[in-house]
Each structure stands twice: as structure tokens, then as C-alpha cells.
Structure 1
């Protein structure tokens, strides 16, 4: 029998990027659960802002809040694909990050209503510092990846100190600092991976992204359920509300079908492509979460509870659908599709965008997306590595 590791801690060596059968762990699935809460609250707050006619503030606050949610999730995911040991300390630090997500979720409301980002930033810093601890631990056994792990630890720590300092700035200055700090966060992985490198498992990473896509699309299914609930209480709009529920389900299912049609693992065959894939998913995830808010806005419009009027209310769901379709086409679908698919998919996304100017826009959206799915069933993806 080999000797028991000291303190029962497994050396955090780089994982094999070609490991067979690598799948998401139960801890990663557990970790994702807290993001269901955060995404749901962010979508609800966007819905309320749009319904109240606060379109610009709602979109800006949603973009800021969703960045914190997405970036915390993404950084953990890419760290886990390289250094997951699943020992007790790794689990405890992951649970600390989960606690930070829950606190962050509690700060989403004040960020939308009062532009008060204090709770949001403090919770975000807690999550990021827990990951710094993981990077420092990994540096002890990282071998060729040691330089990259130290750059991650130093870079993330520096940016978190700047986040805390930004809380002391006047409101007007904080908005400008926020843009700089987001850019700094995005720059850390670029510097670390270009100076050193960490291994990633293509199938594991793309599986994790697919699972998060299911989470955010699930919010739209909640919107469909809410339409049915409203229909039970509002007989006058029974037909319209049931139609929205059915069409929301069709649209959400179509987006799921489009997302999982191409083989995603080829999309991260190099550092530049993995960077585009990872960062580009911000727009896909945010759009999927915003879609549920758009459905809720349409329900409020029918029940007379929205200050946002037609056709502008319809843009609340057509814009997210268009962003989602064009995003996944650009990141993963385009290299594996023939000329016909590559012409029709972006065209369909643009047609959905202008649907509010057409009578029965949501019905038109569902028909367009169903046509795209039919085309994808007819045409097979070209399974070839991308360069």
C-alpha cells in the first residue's frame, strides 16, 4: 500500500488533457447549483427594470452583474480542468466560492435599484481570493505550469485589491473604474497563458459550458411556466398567454438544439480559439438568461403590467435570441456547417431580430427557429478539427 498523503491532500499536479472518459464531477455539478440562484435573480431584476421602462439602466446593470456571475464560474471551470484533485481542501475552497456566489446573489437587487455594488463586489472578491488560494496550492506541484499558476495568483490578487479600492471612489468614478477593472480581469488569463501555460481537457471544458447553457436556458422554461400560471388567473388573455407559453418552449428547445448541434471540443484546439470560445460565451450565456426576462416582459404586456409597449416589448426577447444564435454560430457552428447552413443560420438570427415589426412576432420567431432546427436535422455537421 502506498503511504497516505500528508494531511490527506493530493499533490495538485496538472491533469492529463487527453485523459479518457473525463467528465464533470459531482462537485462541479453541485457548484453549478448556486449559479442557478444568481442567474435567476439577475434575470428577474432585468425583467422588472424593463417592465418599469428603465431599459438602459436595466441592460447596463444586467451586463455588470452577469459579468461577475460568468467570470467566477468560468475561472473555476478552467482551473478545475487543469488541477482538480477532489480532496477535502479542494472541496472546502470550492464551497467557500459557492458561499460567495450566494452572497453575490443577495447584492444583485441593490445593484439594480440603488446602483449600490458594495455587497456584489465584496462577495465577488471572496470568490476570487478562494481561487487565488487554489492557484497558490497548484503552484507547488505544477511543474511546467508553475509560472502560469503564480501569474494567475498574483494577477487575480492585484485586481481584487483594486476592486476593494474602487468601492471608496465617488459613484461617477466607480463607473469608469469598473470598465478598467473588467479589462484587467480579462487580461490576467491572457498574460498567464502566454507567459506560461496550463493544460485543458477539450471534452471536459465543452461539457461544462454545455451544462451552464442548460442552466441559463432553464430560466426561459420558467418563463413559459409563468405564462401558464398567469393564464389560469387571467381568463381574458387565456389564449394569448397559453400561446406565449407554448412558443417560449419551442424557442427554448430550438436554441438548445442549435447549441448542441456542432462538436464543440474542436473549437478550443488552440489558445487563441479557446480564448474566443471562453470569452465569447459571455454573450451566449447572458443572452440566454435575458431571454427569460423578455418572456416575462411579454407576459406583463398582455396582463397590463408593463410600461414597455409594443413593439418595443418584443425586442426584449428577440434581441437575446439573435445574440444567442449569432454567437453560437460564430464560435462553434460555422466551422462544422456547409455553405447552406452558414447562410441560413445568421439570416434566421437577423430575421428574428426584426420580428417585432411583423404581426404576431413571437409566432414568427418560433417558426423561424423551428425551420433552422429542421435544416440542422437534414444537414449533418462536418466533424473536422478547426485551425
Structure 2
């Protein structure tokens, strides 16, 4: 959140988006692989430990990454992905039916990792464009591989993992609320705004939790196309959840006169992630399991939170709108697709 606080908004957003892609992509690939080929034997566990080492290396390099030095972060990312290559090779060796799919995954992932290492030695002026190309190459690998044979997955297992990751990210927002209270207890002169932001952001975080877990997520991944949409759109959902915690910290800095951002811009650091989160979940999981009322209230509510900066007390409008959205969801529960069709015909 420091880039935002220093009014380096564009640089901060780009760096965050790039760093979060690495975290999300490595996690998502492992999650889908695990639901298909989790043997839980000694080698599977060792390769998982290697991936953990890659995670730690990547985390250690994030500070330099934000300063433009990609070396350590990319090395950690490649370690994570090379371990995944080994997992796919094992899967291909053990499954004749899905051998072509598994080896396509292994070859595709391995080839892209070589290019990530090449990124470290090309001229700096070329790196941003090559970075974008490599991101596209990464997300293209599953699309190509799955056309050679669809790997099996367990809808409930997959969506449970997505839900757990969401809880972790929303927990960071609760930490932001806690920090507001800590600032107040540390003797800040004006306690009321800090207490207010703590209460309001708690309401926002709880509402987002309710909205996320309202629909039956397992029904959103019935086909390969649906699964790809569910998985890829979750990048924006997860990134927004993570950015919300940064936005709360920015709001605290603004309230304590430690930010170069205007009050309006600081409020946008909360309302924009909230809008993206709600719209993303509505698109991939809610709209196909909701009636007309819900399918109007949720997206409209997501857009209305963008008007929050016009309210003198930050996050007030966002909290009120989300509570209204949750109230509608409580009153009008999820409906099955067949039920919605019968309602439309009636």
C-alpha cells in the first residue's frame, strides 16, 4: 500500500497485479492438479515442499520486485513451477488415458519457465512487453492441454479450496480494521474517524464474505469452459480481496495525515476493489443461480459503491450498500437453473 500512499498509483497497481499473478497462478495450477492426481505419497509431498521453498524465495524477492529487480522473485516462481512440471510428468507416467494431456502440461509449463529466465537477461526496455507475453503463455497452457483430454476434477473440492483462499484474503482486511483500532489506542488525537473506519470496514468484509458464499459455487464449473471462466476470473476476485486490505491501510494513512493521496482518491482504494470483487463473483457464480431481483441488486450495488467518495465519512456508502445487498440475498435465496426457467415461463 506504500505506493498508493505515496501517490504512485499506476506503478503500484501494475506491480501488485504482476506479483499477485505469480501467487495466484502457482496456487491455482497446484489446486486443480491436486484434485485430479493427489497421490499423497512421499514424492508428491517432497515436490510440494519444493514448491513451498519456491514460495518463500518468491516472497523474499517481492521487495526488490517492487523496485524493478525481478531476479529473486522470478527464481522463486520458477522453482514453484518446475516442481509442478515434475508432478505432471509423474501423472503422465501413471495415467495412460491422460498421458498426452499431462505431458502437454509438463512441456508447456517447462517451456514458459525457460522464457521467464530469459526475461532476466533481456534489455530492461523489453521486459514489460515480454512479461505480458509470458503471462498470456502461462494461461494458454491449460487451454491447450485440456483439449487433448480433460483432467477429472471434483467440483466441491475445487470450490472449497477457492473459498479457503478467499477467507485468507478477506482476513487481511480484518487485519486492516484491527490496525485502525490500534492507531486509535496509540493516542491519535481524533479517535472517531479511526473507530468509524474500523467498524465500517468490518461490515464491508463480513458482507463480502456473505456475498461470496451465497451461491452454490460447485455448480459453476460443470464444463471445461465454465471451469476456465471460474478459474481465470477469480484472479480479479482474489486480487480485489487482497487490494481491499491495502486500501484500508491507505484510508488509515489518510486519516492520520500520513498519505499524499487526496481523501477522495484514498476512498477509491477501498471502493474499487469492493466493486471488482462483487462484480466478479456475480458474473461467475451468482447470476446463474439467482432470480431477476438479485441479478439487478448485486451488479447495481457493486457499481454504486464507486460513488462512496462523495460521502464525507469514508466507506460509509459502501458499507450501507453491501448490507442492503446481503439483506436481499438473505430474503431471496439461490435458485436452480431449472427453477429459474420455470419461473420465467410462468
| TM-score w.r.t. length of structure 1 | 0.86
Specify every segment of 5 or more residues in structure 1 that has no aligned partner in the other structure, as ranges: 1-46
Cα deviation for residue 196 of structure 1 reads 2.1
Cα distance in structure 2, aligned partners of 1:172 and 1:354:
38
Alignment of 1:177 onto 2:130: yes
Cα deviation for residue 166 of structure 1 reads 1.2
Specify every segment of 5 or more residues in structure 2 that has no aligned partner in the other structure, as ranges: 341-346
Report the counterpart of residue 114 of structure 2 in structure 1. 161
Report the counterpart of residue 178 of structure 2 in structure 1. 225
* C-alpha contact (below 8 Å) 1:234/1:303 kept by paired residues: no
Report the counterpart of residue 87 of structure 1 in structure 2. 41
Report the counterpart of residue 199 of structure 2 in structure 1. 246
Cα deviation for residue 235 of structure 1 reads 3.6
* C-alpha contact (below 8 Å) 1:266/1:384 kept by paired residues: no
Paired residue secondary structure (2:315): helix
Higher relative contact order (CA 8 A, sep 6+): 1
Alignment of 1:285 onto 2:238: yes
Paired residue secondary structure (1:85): coil
Write the mapping of 1:34-45 to structure 2, written as runs, cut at 5 A. Answer: none
Q: What whole-Å deviation, never above 9, does each CA across 1:252-296 have from its counterpart, x for those lacking one?
A: 000000000000001000000000000000000000000000000
Cα deviation for residue 71 of structure 1 reads 0.3
Tell me which of 30, 49, 52 is aligned to 2:3: 49
Cα distance in structure 1, aligned partners of 2:178 and 2:165:
20
Cα deviation for residue 143 of structure 1 reads 2.5
Report the counterpart of residue 296 of structure 2 in structure 1. 343
Tell me which of 252, 255, 270 is aligned to 1:317: 270
Cα deviation for residue 220 of structure 1 reads 0.2
Alignment of 1:116 onto 2:69: yes
Cα deviation for residue 111 of structure 1 reads 1.3
Cα deviation for residue 364 of structure 1 reads 1.2
Cα deviation for residue 172 of structure 1 reads 1.2
Cα deviation for residue 170 of structure 1 reads 1.1
* C-alpha contact (below 8 Å) 2:78/2:113 kept by paired residues: yes
* C-alpha contact (below 8 Å) 1:81/1:205 kept by paired residues: yes
| TM-score w.r.t. length of structure 2 | 0.96
Q: What whole-Å deviation, never above 9, does each CA across 1:66-88 have from its counterpart, x for those lacking one?
A: 00000000000000000001111
* C-alpha contact (below 8 Å) 2:308/2:316 kept by paired residues: no
* C-alpha contact (below 8 Å) 1:217/1:252 kept by paired residues: yes
Cα distance in structure 1, aligned partners of 2:257 and 2:61:
29
Cα deviation for residue 226 of structure 1 reads 0.3
Paired residue secondary structure (2:260): coil
Cα distance in structure 2, aligned partners of 1:68 and 1:345:
30
Runs of 4+ in 1 over 4 A off after TM superposition: none
* C-alpha contact (below 8 Å) 1:129/1:157 kept by paired residues: yes
Aligned residues: 340
* C-alpha contact (below 8 Å) 1:290/1:320 kept by paired residues: yes
